[in-house]
């Protein structure tokens, strides 16, 4: 029986690469668990959001990382010591040397006055005062956020006063200083998801409801790490629009929801398809609206709109 050779061990270089990838993956996941926001993770690494997404896709961690942003502190795994990992030496605090209190000079005894009593009460530390101010500001911002929602324009007007809305960078800085940057980011993400679902992927309708122009909406979607998710949602609505049944549903969609189809970028495609399929029926009708309506089984208004489209295409 021939002796079997022992399994070859992978070269050290590939093991080193695997260890480096594992360490990088753990570092990225830890940052996502801490920041709960993709743009904040990118900023902490000195990367753009697209560069961060490239690294996540290379490590196949993008879905797992963004799952951490949607969880809560209770979803985080409990920290446990690694098995076999040596613990460090015990840490002992050095005892501070006792300071000798100066012996007061003998003086005549006197009753303590109110001034002495008030002076003995120490003022609160500056850190506690600052923490109280931050908590007060956070409570105020949360109340405004609950009142007007995560709409930056409305928040700027509400916090800046009439005629003097806060600039966007100042608004974001106030939420960051109050420790509410993650809260604002999560609420903005939820609002964007809801609006794109309500308007069936129409970006112009979402921008109008938020009071933004198209570039500002794209920048907000990119800043909140929703570009791939919104593109996937719009693709799904495009697929549904292309699969409408002929003839009634496709004709109704073309003549009644042209702006929506144009926003999705498929208006010209569906218009060519519908008109090419409806032209033989129009020619057979001999210009009769009633015959065209009867053959295509559409309403009178839809048949009239379709006839006008066909006439313009002649």
Q: Which residue has the higher pLDDT, 73 or 124?
A: 124
- Residue 152 Ramachandran class (φ > 0 left, ψ -120 to 50 alpha, else beta): alpha
Query: Where along the chain do its domains lie?
Result: 21-70, 128-177, 180-226, 244-312
Q: At what angle do helices 267-285 and 300-312 cross, to 10 degrees?
A: 100
Q: Give the tens place of pLDDT for each residue, 49-73.
A: 778 888 899 998 888 888 887 655 4
∠ Cα 151 152 154 (to 5°) = 70
* Whole-number average pLDDT of the chain: 82
Q: Is the pLDDT of residue 121 over 50?
A: no
CA–CA distances in Å: residue 96 to residues 42, 91, 93, 99, 100: 43, 15, 9, 9, 12
Residue in 273, 280, 282, 283 with CA at minimum distance from that of residue 306: 282
**pLDDT 10s digits, 141-171:** 999 999 999 999 999 999 987 788 999 999 9
Angle at 125 between CA 121 and CA 129, to 5 degrees: 115
Per-residue pLDDT at 279: 93
206's CB contacts (< 8 A; 6+ apart) are: 192, 195, 196, 199, 217
Asked whether residue 18 carries a pLDDT value surpassing 70, the answer given is: yes
- Looking at 19-33, 34-48, 176-190, 233-247, which range is the least confident one? 34-48
pTM above 0.75, yes or no: no
């Amino acid at each position: 029986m021939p002796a079997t050779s022992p399994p070859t061990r992978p070269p050290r270089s590939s093991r080193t690469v695997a260890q480096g990838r594992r360490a990088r993956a753990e570092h990225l996941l830890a940052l996502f668990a801490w920041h709960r926001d993709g743009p904040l993770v990118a900023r902490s690494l000195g990367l753009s959001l697209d560069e961060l997404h490239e690294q996540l896709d290379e490590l196949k961690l993008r879905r797992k990382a963004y799952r951490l942003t949607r969880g809560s502190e209770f979803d985080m795994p409990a920290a446990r010591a690694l098995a076999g990992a040596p613990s460090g030496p015990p840490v002992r605090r050095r005892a501070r040397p006792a300071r000798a209190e100066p012996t007061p000079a003998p003086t005549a005894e006197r009753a303590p006055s109110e001034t002495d009593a008030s002076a003995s009460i120490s003022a609160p530390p500056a850190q506690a005062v600052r923490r109280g101010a931050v908590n007060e500001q956070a409570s105020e911002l949360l109340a405004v956020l609950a009142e007007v929602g995560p709409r930056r324009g409305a928040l700027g007007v509400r916090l800046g006063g009439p005629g003097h809305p806060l600039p966007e960078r100042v608004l974001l800085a106030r939420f960051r200083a109050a420790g509410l940057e993650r809260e604002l980011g999560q609420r903005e993400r939820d609002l964007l998801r809801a609006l794109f679902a309500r308007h069936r992927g129409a970006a112009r309708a979402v921008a109008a409801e938020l009071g933004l122009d198209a570039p500002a909406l794209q920048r907000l979607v990119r800043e909140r790490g929703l570009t791939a998710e919104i593109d996937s949602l719009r693709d799904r609505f495009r697929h549904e629009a292309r699969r409408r049944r002929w003839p009634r549903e496709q004709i109704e969609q073309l003549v009644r929801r042209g702006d929506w189809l144009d926003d999705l970028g498929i208006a010209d495609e569906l218009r060519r398809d519908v008109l090419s399929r409806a032209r033989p029926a129009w020619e057979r009708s001999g210009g009769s609206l009633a015959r065209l309506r009867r053959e295509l089984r559409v309403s009178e208004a839809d048949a009239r709109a379709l006839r006008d489209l066909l006439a313009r295409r002649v």
